[in-house]
Each structure stands twice: as C-alpha cells, then as structure tokens.
C-alpha cells in the first residue's frame, strides 16, 4: 500500500490551500447575506483550473482524476464554513466527469470552455417533487423528434438554478423516454436553462446560501440531438457514476468541515476557563474531541480510498460494485459524524456558539444538507446492503 500523494498532487493542494486561505476564508461568511459567490472568487477558481477540473484539456479543462479532485474539495471545505464554494465545486467536478466521458464532441465544445472559465454553471437535475430517492417515479418526459428531442416536465430541489438561468449553462438532466420500461427507459441529456420554456422557482435553504437551490418547469423545450449524454434509455445507469463521484467528494467535504470546526474548538477550549481551569482540561470535553477527531480522520481516509477505487475502476482495475460500496460506506456516516462534531464545538463555545457570528453554526447548517443531497444517508445503507447480500435482497423489487 502506498498512502502518499504524487508531487503534482501536493503542489495542487498547496496552491488551492493558499488561494482558499487568502481569498475565500475572509469573505466566506458574507455569502450568507449576499447569497452569491463573488465573481472574483469564481474567476480565481477558473484560473487555478478547479471549475469542472474533470473536463479534458481538449475542451478547456485540466483532466484531474478523482483523487486529485478530492484534494481540492478537502481544501475548499476547510476555508468556507458556508459550504457554498465546496458545493459549487463538487457539482461541476462530478457532472463534468459524466459530460466529459459520455457527452458528444459538439456538446462538450459548447459547454466546457464556458464552464471552466466560470462564465456558465453545470449542474445536475434528477429530483422532482415526487421523485427523489426513487428515480423510477420520474415524470419528466423526453421525446425524440426529427431534429432532436422535446422535453416536458418539472425539476425540484436543484442546486445552481439561479447561476445557470441568470449567467448561462445548464444541467445534466434525466427524463423518461420509454416509460413502460421503467428505469430502463430513462435518458440523460444536457438541458440549457437560458431557453424558451424554462421557468425557474427558488427555495430558501437553511444553509450553503452562496449557491441557489430551486427548480424549474420545462415546457416543450427543444434540444438538439447532440445534447444526448450516453445512449438513449441508458441514463439511469450513467447517472449513478456522477452520483458516486459527487458522494465521494461530499464525504471528504464533511470530514474536512468537521476537522476545521474541531480546530476552532481546540483554540477555544485551550483558552476558555471555567472554575479556574481551561475547559480543554476536563475529560468530558477532551474525550469528545478525541472521539470526533478519530471518526473524522477515519471518514477522510474512507473518502480517499473510495475515490482511489473510483480511479482504479476507470482504468479497468476495480469492479463497479466495489466503487458503489466503497463510496456509499464513506457517505453513510459522513453527515452525521461531521454534524455531531460541529455540534459539540458549538456547545463548547457556550452562548456564543448559538450566535450567527459563530462560523461553526454555519458549517453545521451546510453539512446537514448532505444527509439528503446527492443521495440520502438511508439510500447509502440500501446500497451497502445490496452489495453485501445481492440485488435479490433489495426489499422493494
Ligand atoms: C440542499 C439540497 C440540494 C440538492 N441539490 C440537488 C441537485 O442539484 N440536483 C438534484 O437532482 N437533486 C438535488 N437535491 C435533492 C436530493 O438529491 C434529494 O433530496 C434526495 O435524493 C432525497 O430525495 P427526496 O428529498 O425526494 O426524499 P425522498 O426520496 O422522498 O425520501 C424521503 C425520506 O425517506 C427516506 N427513504 C426513502 N426510501 C427509503 C427506504 N427504502 N428505506 C429507508 N428510508 C428511505 C429518504 O432517505 C428520506 O430521508 C438536493 C437536496 C438538497 C437538500
């Protein structure tokens, strides 16, 4: 086993950390009010090559593998307790991977040069009001026409709607093409949002407020043939590859946000005195620190191992089921362990921990979203159970 990163990966970590500490950390909490990521940060990320870094250099990307993308996610999560920039990053890295691998040359030539420069946003739209964990209940329809396809339906709880609708770009989207085939009749495609027939709506989330969450109705939207991603009716299988990439990044983001919060907590408990003693001397506090630190370090290792397995599978050196299991195991406890650690850090800070000035409460609200986003923690348990017992043990089949 070789647990070391390459020299190039260490350099990437260093440059992202330097950028994140210098540019992101000082403005992070302001995004809670402005509700957007400042454009100079977006442009700075583009210069570093970390917007959709999975896109190939032929289309303006840098072609990072999954482990290198994980390093970037870890560093961004340390610097931004609002979680907005990590989310902005993880979505475009993950769905950039899918578009890069399965998209057509015409679509990639149109989308990637703009996305990687930070001018457009690339998101994912599978969820609907009646279809989240159960993608088979999707109601949106895609119908082939002479020129391409026509799409009708509605998507809900989608990240980056405002970014794509106002600035440009679109979402990797799933719809039913052959409804009688269920999940075997679903097609994946690129759906631009700045087109006639798209009407956005927005929701007011608890956290990660620098990036929007919303939905959109899709009313007779015509798209060209080259927006197809992969093959018709194979979307259900392809979409899971993007979800796995995203879940691996989310796992490291949870670990990193939790560990950063523990650092804040350590600084506090070393200096805050109660009953004449720094509270960090009390075992009731110290033992919790040790437990959270151990769990989050395990989580970080699991996330890297899972993404390493992802990279191996891309080279034909690991099996698909090994990736699904490793990634689901990493995400399964990610949100709960990170939120539990952050919650204790808030507790240690007494009443200040309950104020909006405390960055940890902000991190808690951001991390909490990962109990659902890109696949709920219950769905992660279903995947691990399925991979251990076999598909015939999925209870609702
Ligand atoms: C902040 C945020 C951003 C998001 N961004 C996006 C996005 O960009 N694109 C996108 O497509 N979606 C996005 N989502 C949606 C997310 O993917 C869904 O919330 C998730 O898949 C769960 O779907 P649901 O909310 O419809 O819950 P449901 O599927 O209705 O599930 C309800 C609850 O039941 C549980 N449950 C379901 N089945 C079982 C079972 N068999 N056993 C035990 N428990 C079960 C679920 O885990 C959940 O807790 C986002 C969500 C959030 C919170």
User: Each residue of 163-203: pLDDT tens digit?
Assistant: 999 999 999 999 999 999 999 999 999 999 999 999 999 99
Residues 109 and 92: their CA atoms lie apart, in Å, by: 16
pLDDT tier for residue 394 given thresholds of 50, 70 and 90: confident
For the chain, domains (ranges, CATH) are 7-121 (1.10.540.10), 122-229 (2.40.110.10), 235-393 (1.20.140.10)
Q: Is 133 in the pocket of ligand 1 (CB under 6 A)?
A: yes
Q: Which residues contact 33 (CB under 8 A, 6 or more apart)?
A: none
Q: How many residues does the chain have?
A: 397
Atom of ligand 1 nearest to the CA of 213: 3
- Name the helix (H) or strand (E) containing 12: helix 7-19
Q: Which residues contact 184 (CB under 8 A, 6 or more apart)?
A: 178, 233, 236
Predicted local confidence at residue 397, as pLDDT: 72
Please check whether residue 213 is in contact with residue 159, taking contact to mean a CB–CB distance below 8 angstroms. Answer: yes
Q: Which residues contact 319 (CB under 8 A, 6 or more apart)?
A: 313
Burial 317-340 (b: 16+ CB within 10 A, else e): ebeeebbbbbbbbbbbbbbbbbbb
pLDDT tier for residue 273 given thresholds of 50, 70 and 90: very high
Please check whether residue 121 is in contact with residue 163, taking contact to mean a CB–CB distance below 8 angstroms. Answer: yes
Give the residue whose CA is nearest to atom 27 of ligand 1. Answer: 132
**372 CA distance to ligand 1 centroid (A)?**
5
Atom of ligand 1 nearest to the CA of 377: 47
Give the residue whose CA is nearest to atom 7 of ligand 1. Answer: 158
Predicted local confidence at residue 235, as pLDDT: 98
Q: Is 361 in the pocket of ligand 1 (CB under 6 A)?
A: no
pLDDT tens digits, 131-149: 999 999 999 999 999 999 9
3-state secondary structure of 316: coil
Say if residue 26's pLDDT is above 90.
yes
Predicted local confidence at residue 2, as pLDDT: 87
Atom of ligand 1 nearest to the CA of 208: 1
Residues 93 and 48: their CA atoms lie apart, in Å, by: 14
Neighbours of 154 (CB within 10 A): 17
Q: Tokens representing 143?
A: 């119908």
**135 CA distance to ligand 1 centroid (A)?**
10
Q: Which residues contact 243 (CB under 8 A, 6 or more apart)?
A: 94, 374, 375
**DSSP H stretches of helix in the chain:** 7-19, 31-34, 39-48, 66-79, 84-102, 105-116, 161-167, 235-271, 283-314, 320-348, 359-368, 377-389
Atom of ligand 1 nearest to the CA of 379: 47
β partners of residue 190: 172
Q: Which residues contact 333 (CB under 8 A, 6 or more apart)?
A: 295, 299, 377
């Amino acid at each position: 086993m070789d647990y070391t990163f390459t020299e190039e990966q260490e350099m990437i970590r260093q440059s992202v950390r330097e950028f994140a500490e210098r540019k992101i950390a000082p403005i992070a909490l302001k995004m809670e009010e402005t509700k957007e990521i400042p454009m100079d940060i977006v442009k700075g990320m583009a210069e570093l090559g970390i917007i959709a870094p999975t896109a190939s250099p032929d289309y303006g990307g840098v072609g990072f593998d999954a482990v290198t993308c994980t390093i970037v996610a870890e560093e961004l999560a340390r610097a931004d307790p609002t979680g907005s920039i990590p989310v902005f990053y993880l979505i475009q890295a993950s769905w950039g991977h899918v578009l890069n691998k399965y998209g057509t040359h015409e679509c990639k030539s149109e989308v990637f040069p703009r996305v990687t420069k930070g001018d457009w946003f690339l998101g994912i739209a599978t969820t609907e009001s009646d279809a989240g964990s159960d993608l088979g209940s999707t109601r949106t329809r895609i119908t082939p026409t002479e020129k391409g396809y026509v799409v009708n339906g509605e998507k809900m709880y989608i990240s980056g709607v405002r970014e794509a609708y106002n600035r440009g770009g679109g979402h990797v989207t799933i719809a039913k093409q052959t409804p009688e085939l269920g999940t075997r009749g679903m097609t994946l495609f690129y759906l631009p949002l700045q087109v006639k027939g798209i009407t956005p709506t927005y929701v007011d989330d608890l956290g990660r407020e620098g990036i929007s969450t919303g939905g959109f109705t899709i009313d007779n939207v015509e798209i060209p043939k080259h927006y197809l991603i992969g093959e018709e009716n194979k979307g259900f299988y392809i979409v899971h590859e993007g979800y796995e990439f995203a879940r691996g990044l989310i796992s490291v983001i949870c670990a990193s946000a939790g560990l950063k919060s523990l650092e804040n907590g350590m600084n506090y408990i070393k200096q805050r005195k109660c009953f004449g003693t720094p509270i960090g001397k009390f075992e009731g506090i110290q033992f919790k620190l040790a437990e959270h630190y151990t769990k989050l370090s395990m989580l970080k290792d699991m996330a890297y191992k899972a993404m390493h397995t992802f990279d191996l599978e891309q080279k034909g050196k690991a099996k698909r089921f090994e990736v699904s299991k490793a990634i689901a195991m990493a995400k399964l406890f990610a949100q709960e362990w990170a939120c539990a650690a952050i919650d204790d850090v808030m507790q240690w800070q007494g009443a200040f921990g309950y104020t909006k000035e405390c960055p940890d409460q902000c991190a808690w609200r951001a991390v909490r979203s990962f109990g659902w986003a890109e696949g709920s923690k219950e769905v992660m348990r279903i995947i691990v159970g399925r991979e251990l017992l076999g598909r015939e043990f999925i209870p609702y089949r």
